[in-house]
Homo-oligomer: A and B are copies of this chain.
Amino acid sequence: MAKIVMKFGGTSVADLERMRIAASYIKEEVDKGNEVIVIVSAMAGETNKLVETVNSVSSFFDAREYDAVVSSGENVTSGILALILQDMDIPARSWQGWQVPITTSSTHSSARIMDICTQNVKAKFDEGLKVAVVAGFQGISEENRITTLGRGGSDLTAVAFAAKFDCERCDIFTDVDGVYTADPRIVFKARKLNRISYDEMLELASLGAKVLQTRSVQMAMAHQVPVYVRSSFTGKPGTLVCSEDEKMENRTISGIAHSRDEAKISIISVADRPGIAATIFGALSDHGIIVDMIVQNISESGRTDITFSCPLEQSALAEKALLEAKEKNLVNFHEILQDLEVCKISVVGIGMRSQSGVAAKMFSILADEGINIQIISTSEIKISVLVERKYMELAVQALHDKFELHTNRISSEQ
């Protein structure tokens, strides 16, 4: 008898009909003799509605109250899904974060899971329970306040349970079939990958492929939890996110990711002295700005320009943070330029480690389309570029085409 985790996202529990379909997937596993820990999100749209309400009260709200409010959607789905399973004669019960308990840090709205108590849930399995339905996305702090794990946090709850309960695998049910070589809404010929490594998935997740939350992939990698991404709508085979295997290693590029809503911010004529970058990015970090790509020009006569990208929605806050730092004389610069019309395109693949020339090929493909590259950032297995937003689809299409991602064959030419 194995334990597995099955996580159902918001669209997979959007209404009673969808929840009954989810229940049928759960029943399959119970019938195989498995004990199932189900992690649920709120019904699609519910959390957004609550977030909007909170935002309309105040723009500077107490994150502890925010969390108490926005966590309620998951409480509803966990209870209802437990009832549906019971109605199918499957021994099931719900747990809210505080009941497990799932203890987290006190960084409200983006808390980190510290521990998951297994005792209470295990005791119920020992008494004959078949399905534990757990509210995802939430936990409690040391102060006994409700915390939430940030967007996509239910993925994290799922992987954390799988790790903590030594589960055989963690199924993530969502509204897409799995991980594709590019966004199928943009690239018609995009192909579903059967397997993908944690490393690649991590790059794709953090680069804007919204299939899995980044931190959940990190945790899956750290604990070697096989994560199976699949659709609760089509029932088709999905994508297994796991350790690298031989077949994967022969692949140069696994996918093209894009992130639409980026902003480019340039700080013009900064006094160039040791520690200035630390001061600037420290100030940004203090305001919670997620800085992504960074470029610093060569210094001329003691002054330099620093350019970075961040999520579009944070650009106003970033400017505010920089102006504040200037006012406090922490940093001195001439002006701030913002470009709110940029996006990020990335190619990802573990094969890059052993193959050279991928970057050159990427730049040349973009150049052939007349797309100017504004910032470049690379890691061992990915190359990202910032380009004008209007070229986003063109860039993704061209890269997918020229890297021949629509075919399954192992290319050796690159």
Contacts and interface: CB of A to CB of B under 8 A. Distances in A.
Interface string A57-80: 110011011101101110110111
Contact of A144 (B73, B83, B99): B99
Given A16-B53, A53-B16, A65-B94, A58 B75 contact: no
Contacts of A53: 16, 80
A174 interface: no
Nearest to A135: B68
Interface in A12-59: 16, 50, 53-54, 56-58
Nearest to A99: B144
A220 interface: no
Given A57-B84, A65-B86, A83-B61, A75 B76 contact: no
A96 interface: yes
A72 B69 contact: no
Given A64-B93, A93-B64, A76 B83 contact: no
Contact of A80 (B16, B54, B99, B145): B54
Nearest to A62: B86
Given A75-B72, A144-B99, A82 B56 contact: no
A165 interface: no
A144 B76 CA distance: 17
Given A16-B56, A56-B16, A57-B87, A65 B50 contact: no
Contacts of A65: 79-80, 82-83, 86, 93-94
A69 B75 contact: yes
A76 B72 contact: yes
A211 B232 CA distance: 47
A75 B83 contact: no
Contact of A72 (B56, B62, B72): B72
B54 A68 contact: no
A58 B82 contact: no
Contacts of A94: 65, 68
B62 A69 contact: no
A83 B99 contact: no
